[in-house]
Amino acid sequence: MTEPAAPRPKPRRARGLPDRRGADLAVERQLISRVSKVYEDWGFEPLETPAFEYADALGKFLPDQDRPNEGVFAFEDDEEWVALRYDLTAPLARFVAENFDALPKPYRRWAAGPVWRNEKPGPGRFREFWQCDADTVGSASPAADAEMIAMACAAYSAVGLADGQFQIKFSTRKLLDAVLEKIGVAADAYSTRLVVLRAIDKFDRLGVKGVEALLGAGRKDESGDFTKGAGLDAAQAKAVLDLVGAGKGTRAEVLNRLAEIGGEAAIAELRAIDAALSALNVSEAQAQIDPTIVRGLEYYTGAVFEGQLIGGDGVFGSIGGGGRYDDLVARFRGERIPATGFSIGVSRLAAALQSKQAAQSDGPVLVLVMDQERVADALAMADELRRAGVRAETYLGAAGMKAQLKYADKRAAPIAIIQGGDELAKGVVTLKDLKLGAKIAAGLGEDREAYAKAREQVQQQAPRAQLVAAVQQMLAR
Amino acid sequence: MTEPAAPRPKPRRARGLPDRRGADLAVERQLISRVSKVYEDWGFEPLETPAFEYADALGKFLPDQDRPNEGVFAFEDDEEWVALRYDLTAPLARFVAENFDALPKPYRRWAAGPVWRNEKPGPGRFREFWQCDADTVGSASPAADAEMIAMACAAYSAVGLADGQFQIKFSTRKLLDAVLEKIGVAADAYSTRLVVLRAIDKFDRLGVKGVEALLGAGRKDESGDFTKGAGLDAAQAKAVLDLVGAGKGTRAEVLNRLAEIGGEAAIAELRAIDAALSALNVSEAQAQIDPTIVRGLEYYTGAVFEGQLIGGDGVFGSIGGGGRYDDLVARFRGERIPATGFSIGVSRLAAALQSKQAAQSDGPVLVLVMDQERVADALAMADELRRAGVRAETYLGAAGMKAQLKYADKRAAPIAIIQGGDELAKGVVTLKDLKLGAKIAAGLGEDREAYAKAREQVQQQAPRAQLVAAVQQMLAR
């Protein structure tokens, strides 16, 4: 009895949605496990919220609001709009607002999970990717911001980045607010502030000239598309550019330079973060003040951070970021609940780490099946090995010995176990050291004696009763 | 500058979508980590596919096809319909079809992740829940089915279930196919077979009477809703009920009884699975043959399994299941690719385990802040502790000492560290053993001497330079 005939579907994925397998995925998982260990050590507890939320609960804070559905994947459920979460912060704000009375305050939580952005995918830019976040909700203290920076440093170290391979750059949006006030941009000029923020956010990519254009009338890109600017005059734009250009040198040097530009509250905040960073032993190389850092998401209200990977030739890309978002919970409750957090871009960091450390781990020991009538013997051997703590599998396809050894190779099996009729009669098994075999195949250099000895060692017999010990010995050599 | 005023959203979730935090979530995470360790030991490699797929690639195999969108959450993307995955098997079939030539065959993969069902939520029944699956694609061998059963047993043991607390029941859909053939239900009577399958699947809930009604004209439930039956006559229904009732006793006993009912291919398959289970040391208590097991998902073609939790008073509910789905990859490729798998229901198993083992783990050591001007000192203390491997956090709210100790209590902090002005002047810190304090508060019984001694031990001073050693000592006692 078969299902009624249907047109055969194509096996394909919607664009920008990756499959990840084997070693690639293992790197991501290990990374999340190490980062979350750091978060736990710092006193953050885990939280998992659903993949989708009411659209009004998530809010609209993405930089690309001109995309379909304003950058999110939305659909109707029970006649209300819901959307896949675009980050882990907006759902946290909903969670805190919903459970405010029951939570310890400050509430410190970490979370790891996929987020979805309905954006144009590109190389290394996916529409589903993982983030691993920590947030402190209910603390207005700059020490909480400093903790985020220090903890991010600890997390990057924990995943194997050495000092000098990463750096956290931080600033506060209050610096810009002070400059905007000074140059007479009205405090309620909401959209002008946003356009200025986004212009600065593109500093890395567009440089001074590009930002200057976006602060003024606007900018035409290579494709001819025109982006409307903030409409500042030359003097106003210069004041913003002076701020953006103030970040060179040690934290103390930058602070002194910024103090001249002004913004008392901003400077006090940065000084307090700097002092806390020193208490937390965060070096100048690990964390610098950089006023070009403003972050793209709209909800940040104060301190902002960005983690960058330093390649051989300078900065290599963003591997995390965050900041203070004192108004996000207030959207629900009215009352302001100060909060700050840091998000590590798991997929990006994993990709960066993979180029640094090609994780080539061994597969399981493979027990071959030489005779389908004796599959039970092979199952029992694999079972014995596993019970002794050795990863092992039985070949369960229908192919012959040659194809089985090819399979062992594809699985990176370190050892193949073979028991044909002859071995069975003698009560022995054959162990094939596939790693050593591969080494020999790759050439053992000019040493003929070593070569001959190695060849001898590749294949070896052991009494069936000694299987586990023989495998363990071979694995250990 | 603030965002333009918007109506204040309610902090709420769409129904059937749980938040999970703290210890509850930790139990789930630990469970996934232990189960996946078993899968890895058995030679399965990890795979992660995206949360949503083209709807035609997922196919329509859910039992509740009468629900909106046929049980899935669907939406349009680039003018094509996509849907959140309802299990981890349908995406695997798409992945295998898409990457067939590059994969080792058999392809053995495990996966853990959330799945979404657009069903009516209820107590313990969510619309988002986690599964942790293993699948062998490209093996027609009953040994592969037996491995699934044996591995599920190993996984349940690994998460802490003792023998007797769980059982795998298994059967094959080929048994029913043989009976249907014998009673003259045409081989192409696709929908009759499905109705019969789903009637049997409800055996647990409805008993013999209910199943009998569903095999015949139909059944009216308590609410008065009528479910149309398969339309079998009395003799035909009896044949099906004979099959359903054949499962009592050891695997050998059930096999002998089934052999009389017939279905050569089915019996041969079950015998082979039984032999392989014995080779894999799976006991009768761990795995039984039960012809009432058919599973709800439509894509199964042969062997089917179900993991059940055994409570004090018998069966407690399904904690996993799976089976053989030889036609799922063929949907894409035409060519049949035999496959079998097992899925552990993470959320359900975690809920069951939580009632068995209330995971009450300690929170981080809490460093109190007695003077906001000296927050750096507190940060430095927590940092020293963490660098020595002790989980520690600094209190970063604005509250006084009493509220901070309350916070420590909410966080299950084992120790509070206090350094007020007096302590600072003397160069010491005060350590408060909160666990011991809680024990005393709960009453130490009638032993007055022990009580007095314990009270003394709760609070203790140490030189600031000895902080780490003193904390480690207190944690160890």
Check: complex ipTM more than 0.85: yes
Predicted confidence (pLDDT) per residue in B304-331, tens digit: 999 999 976 666 688 999 999 999 999 9
DSSP symbol at A2: -
Residue B5 above 60 pLDDT? no
B280: nearest CA partner in chain A: A380
Task: Please state, in angstroms and rounded to a whole number, the distance separating the CA atoms of residues A361 and A437.
Answer: 17
CB contact under 8 A, B10 and A332: yes
Tell me if B103 sits within 8 A of B40, measured CB to CB.
no
B216 and B261 co-located in one domain = yes
Residue A6 forms part of a structural domain: no
B412 Cβ under 8 Å from any chain A Cβ: no
- Residue spans of beta strands (DSSP E) within A346-433: 365-367, 392-394, 415-418, 428-433
Question: Is residue B36 very low, low, confident or very high in pLDDT (cuts 50, 70, 90)?
Answer: very high
Tell me if A332 sits within 8 A of B10, measured CB to CB.
yes
Distance of CA B169 to the CA centre of its chain: 17
Q: Which comes out higher in pLDDT, residue B43 or A313? A: B43
A188 Cβ under 8 Å from any chain B Cβ: yes
Residue B64 forms part of a structural domain: yes
For the ranges A109-118, B32-41, B59-68, which has the lowest average pLDDT? B59-68
Residue B12 forms part of a structural domain: no
A142 and A235 co-located in one domain = yes
CB contact under 8 A, A41 and B391: yes
A224 Cβ under 8 Å from any chain B Cβ: no
* Token pair in block for residue A139: 């603390």
CB contact under 8 A, B41 and A331: no
B403 and B351 co-located in one domain = no
Residue B68 above 70 pLDDT? no
Please give, rounded to a whole number of angstroms, the shortest distance from the CA of A449 to a CA of chain B.
35
DSSP symbol at A396: -
Residue B4 forms part of a structural domain: no
Q: Which comes out higher in pLDDT, residue B78 or A106? A: A106
Three-state DSSP state, A271: helix
**A40 chain-B contacts, CB cut-off 8 A:** 364, 391
Predicted pLDDT of residue A355:
66
CB contact under 8 A, A21 and B379: no
Q: What is the mean pLDDT of residues B84-101?
A: 96
The number of domains in chain A is 2
Predicted pLDDT of residue A78:
86
Across the interface, which of B59, B73, B278 has its CB nearest the CB of A75? B73
A340: nearest CA partner in chain B: B396
Domain that holds residue B377: 365-476
Predicted confidence (pLDDT) per residue in B396-431, tens digit: 999 999 999 999 999 999 999 999 999 999 999 999
Burial of B23 (C-beta count, 10 Å sphere; 0-12/13-18/19+): middle
A381 and A406 co-located in one domain = yes
CB contact under 8 A, B138 and A397: yes
A287 Cβ under 8 Å from any chain B Cβ: no
B262 and B399 co-located in one domain = no
Q: Which comes out higher in pLDDT, residue A415 or B186? A: A415
Please give, rounded to a whole number of angstroms, the shortest distance from the CA of B87 to a CA of chain A.
15
Contacting B residues, span 68-107, partner chain A, CB-CB under 8 Å = 73-75, 77-78, 80, 82, 84, 94-95, 97-99, 104-106
Listed residues B338, B356, B374: the one ending a domain: B356
Tell me if A49 sits within 8 A of A58, measured CB to CB.
no
Predicted pLDDT of residue B446:
62
A85 and A205 co-located in one domain = yes
Task: Please state, in angstroms and rounded to a whole number, the distance separating the CA atoms of residues A473 and B325.
Answer: 39
Most confident stretch, A195-204, B31-40, B117-126: B31-40
CB contact under 8 A, B45 and A22: yes
Residues 6+ apart with CB under 8 A from B103: B96, B137
Predicted confidence (pLDDT) per residue in A106-156, tens digit: 999 999 999 999 988 988 789 999 999 999 999 999 999 999 999 999 999
A18 Cβ under 8 Å from any chain B Cβ: yes
A20-21/A45-48 β-pairing = unpaired
Nearest CA to A343 out of A15, A107, A92, A106 is that of A92
Binding-site sequence positions of B for L-histidine = 87-89, 117, 131, 135, 295, 299-300
Share of chain B above pLDDT 90, in %: 73
Tell me if A47 sits within 8 A of B25, measured CB to CB.
yes
Q: Mean pLDDT across chain B, nearest whole number? A: 90
Only one residue has tokens 């140490």, namely: B462
A212 and A308 co-located in one domain = yes
Q: Which residues pair with B321 in a beta bridge?
A: B306, B343
CATH number at residue B138: 3.30.930.10
Alpha carbon distances (Å) from B33 to B8, B29, B197: 40, 6, 34
The parts of chain A modelled with pLDDT lower than 70 are 1-6, 62-70, 187-190, 312-316, 355-360, 444-446
B193: nearest CA partner in chain A: A1
Tell me if A294 sits within 8 A of A321, measured CB to CB.
no
Residue B215 forms part of a structural domain: yes
A313 and A373 co-located in one domain = no
Tell me if A391 sits within 8 A of A472, measured CB to CB.
no
B173-182 vs B234-244: helix axis angle to the nearest 10?
A: 150
A318 and A452 co-located in one domain = no
Across the interface, which of A43, A154, A364 has its CB nearest the CB of B364? A43
B184 Cβ under 8 Å from any chain A Cβ: no
Residues 6+ apart with CB under 8 A from B312: none
Residues 6+ apart with CB under 8 A from A43: A108, B363, B364, B366, B391, B392, B393, B411
Q: Count of A–B CB contacts within 8 Å?
A: 312
Predicted pLDDT of residue B1:
40
**A405 chain-B contacts, CB cut-off 8 A:** none
CATH number at residue A417: 3.40.50.800
The 3 state secondary structure assigned to chain B is CCCCCCCCCCCCCCCCCCCEEHHHHHHHHHHHHHHHHHHHHCCCEEEECCCEEEHHHHCCCCCCCCCHHHHCCEEEECCEEEEECCCCHHHHHHHHHHCHHHCCCCEEEEEEEEEECCCCCECCECCEEEEEEEEEECCCCHHHHHHHHHHHHHHHHHCCCCCCCEEEEEEEHHHHHHHHHHCCCCCCCHHHHHHHHHHHHCHHHHHHHHHHHHHCCEEECCCCCEEECCCCCHHHHHHHHHHHCCCCCCHHHHHHHHHHHCCHHHHHHHHHHHHHHHHCCCCCCCEEECCCCCCCCCCCCCEEEEEEEEECCEEEEEEEEEEECCCCCHHHHCCCCCEEEEEEEHHHHHHHHHHHCCCCCCCCEEECCCCHHHHHHHHHHHHHHHHCCCCEEECCCCCCHHHHHHHHHHCCCCEEEECCHHHHHHCEEEEEEHHHHHHHHCCCCCCHHHHHHHHHHHEEEEEHHHHHHHHHHHHHC
B139 Cβ under 8 Å from any chain A Cβ: yes
For testing the chain B interface, which of A2, A20, A21 should be mutated: the one with the most B CBs within 10 Å? A21
B308 and B380 co-located in one domain = no
Is residue A300 marked as binding?
yes
CB contact under 8 A, B54 and A177: no
**A145 chain-B contacts, CB cut-off 8 A:** none
Only one residue has tokens 């769980």, namely: B166
B396: nearest CA partner in chain A: A139
**A404 chain-B contacts, CB cut-off 8 A:** none
A234 and A85 co-located in one domain = yes
Residue A17 forms part of a structural domain: no
Predicted pLDDT of residue A281:
94
Q: How many residues does this entry show for chain A?
A: 477
Residue B170 forms part of a structural domain: yes
Predicted pLDDT of residue B2:
45
Listed residues A305, A326, A356: the one ending a domain: A356
Tell me if B474 sits within 8 A of B366, measured CB to CB.
no
Q: What is the mean pLDDT of residues B141-160?
A: 96
**A4 chain-B contacts, CB cut-off 8 A:** 190
A21: nearest CA partner in chain B: B47
CB contact under 8 A, B57 and A10: yes
Question: Is residue B343 very low, low, confident or very high in pLDDT (cuts 50, 70, 90)?
Answer: very high
**B59 chain-A contacts, CB cut-off 8 A:** 9
Nearest CA to A98 out of A328, A324, A299, A333 is that of A333
A461 and A348 co-located in one domain = no
Predicted pLDDT of residue B293:
94
Binding-site sequence positions of B = 87-89, 117, 131, 135, 295, 299-300
Listed residues A297, A325, A356: the one ending a domain: A356
Residue A94 forms part of a structural domain: yes
B334 Cβ under 8 Å from any chain A Cβ: yes
A314 Cβ under 8 Å from any chain B Cβ: no
**A106 chain-B contacts, CB cut-off 8 A:** 395-397, 407
